[in-house]
Amino acid sequence: MSTGLTFRGRPEHQFRNFVALWSVTLKVSLRRMLGRPLVRSWSWTFEMGTELLREQMRVMFTMTPPEARAFGDSMSLPAPALDRVRMSEPVTTPARGRWFEPRETSGRTLLYLHGGGYAFHGEGYANFVALVAEATGARTFALDYRLSPEHPHPAQLEDALAAYRALLASGVSPSQLAVAGDSAGGHLTLSLVLALRDAGEPLPAVAMGLCPWTHTGARGASLTANDPYDWVQGAHAIQFGAWYRAGIPADDPRVSPLCADLRGLPPLVLQAGGREILHDQIVEFADAAKSQGVSVSLQVWPEMNHDFQAFGPDVPEAREALANLRTAMQQWCK
């Protein structure tokens, strides 16, 4: 787990990460030596990653959001996918973000919306986007939207709409365009297609949510029941929601797609882990969308936790989930 780790930024942040790394290594190694892994099917690497991310999140929630972002960037993991994908320099117009272009492209375009509870966007996310771009074979624009709590709803939706419209204005056909996102980015994906439908604008060929947040309040028993297995905790999701909503009730469809009228949406591909805190609300959303006539593919990996796809090819479930995104784009982007 430590191979290729890089420490940077403020000395105090580097020190806290160094201590966390070795304490987590000792904790996980001893637990597994005693025959008590957190989940029996997990590898040492996956369990280490889960515990290290959990410790990072714990520390970040003792800080202000700006300091937490700096702390999150003070330790980076190896990013092999970035060696296989061409990443552009940041662009600012017509939308802020980066292009990711795989070596072999399919001719399709993907608008990718990152997670992070709408509050965090670490530099390490580039590897996650590269994994998705490589798996789908799509020329991928990763939007760098404004963050809460400094910029609450609807800032993120406004940025996503601007990026989507810019792609269409550049000549990208909706039939060759997909939108995807993980976690809060999955929430933004759903919010985006709802806004496009309401505005009568062209819809993407398919919308894909990787462990998508579908309700920004305390929804679903798994939000706390799966705390022992997930690296993001239910209390964190509730705080992220409060920052994002800025006083809007959690059941308002503007901030919780689960509460919206879902009729007329494009095909949806939703992925979830059975051990993640958002599991129940993802399943509830899928059921609601199906009951309203939407084409929905819900894919659940029972032993996985939140955003497991980010572990890439080394984890069979992540490898399968990423491959399924390519299949979905081949099916719907004609």
Pairing state between β 97-102 and 85-87: antiparallel
Query: Active site includes 306?
Result: yes
- pLDDT, residue 229, reads 98
175-200 pLDDT tens trace: 999 999 999 999 999 999 999 999 99
Last residue of a domain, one of 16, 42, 76: 76
Residues 174 and 304 in one domain: yes
Residues 142 and 251 in one domain: yes
Last residue of a domain, one of 34, 52, 76: 76
Q: Which residues of 228-256 are buried (b: 16+ CB within 10 A; e: fewer)?
A: ebbbbbbebbbebbbbbbeebebeeebbb
Residues 108 and 215 in one domain: yes
Characterise 97 by phi-psi region: left (phi > 0), alpha (psi -120 to 50), beta (else).
left
Cβ-based neighbour number of residue 174 at 10 Å: 18
Is pLDDT at 2 greater than 70 in this prediction? no
- pLDDT, residue 202, reads 98
Is pLDDT at 3 greater than 60 in this prediction? no
Residues 65 and 99 in one domain: no
| Within-domain flag for 267 | yes
Whole-number Å distance between alpha carbons of 328 and 237 = 28
Stretch 208-221: mean pLDDT: 98
> H or E stretch including 72?
helix 65-72
Residues 113 and 133 in one domain: yes
Is pLDDT at 228 greater than 50 in this prediction? yes
| Within-domain flag for 1 | no
Is pLDDT at 219 greater than 60 in this prediction? yes
Strand segments (E) across the chain: 6-7, 75-76, 85-87, 97-102, 109-113, 139-143, 177-182, 206-210, 268-273, 296-301
| Within-domain flag for 269 | yes
Residues 213 and 295 in one domain: yes
Pairing state between β 6-7 and 75-76: antiparallel
- pLDDT, residue 76, reads 82
Give me the domain span that covers residue 284: 80-332
Last residue of a domain, one of 76, 94, 125: 76
Residue of 47, 51, 134, 276 with catalytic role: 276
Q: Contact at 8 Å (CB) between 183 and 305?
A: no
79-133 pLDDT tens trace: 889 999 999 999 997 789 999 999 988 899 999 999 999 999 988 899 999 999 9
- The CATH number of residue 91's host domain is 3.40.50.1820
- pLDDT, residue 204, reads 98
Residues 38 and 106 in one domain: no
Residues 44 and 109 in one domain: no
Query: Active site includes 170?
Result: no
The structure tokens listed for 153 are 């709803």
125-174 pLDDT tens trace: 999 999 999 999 999 999 999 999 999 999 999 999 999 999 999 999 99
Query: What residues does 6 pair with on adjacent strands?
Result: 76
Number of structural domains in the chain = 2
Residues 58 and 30 in one domain: yes
Whole-number Å distance between alpha carbons of 168 and 149 = 30
Q: Which amino acid is at 209?
A: G
Residues 13 and 154 in one domain: no
Whole-number Å distance between alpha carbons of 241 and 131 = 27
Residue of 74, 183, 191, 256 with catalytic role: 183
- The one-character DSSP state at 310 is G
Q: How many residues does the chain have?
A: 334
Whole-number Å distance between alpha carbons of 306 and 209 = 12
Residues 138 and 20 in one domain: no
240-263 pLDDT tens trace: 999 999 999 999 999 999 999 999
Is pLDDT at 1 greater than 60 in this prediction? no
33-78 pLDDT tens trace: 999 999 999 999 999 999 999 999 999 999 999 999 999 999 887 8
Strand segments (E) across 186-256: 206-210
- pLDDT, residue 4, reads 66
304-321 pLDDT tens trace: 999 999 999 999 999 999
| Within-domain flag for 129 | yes
The structure tokens listed for 255 are 């901030």
Query: Active site includes 276?
Result: yes
Per-residue CA distances from 118 to 102, 108, 126, 266 (Å): 26, 27, 16, 24
Residues 297 and 198 in one domain: yes
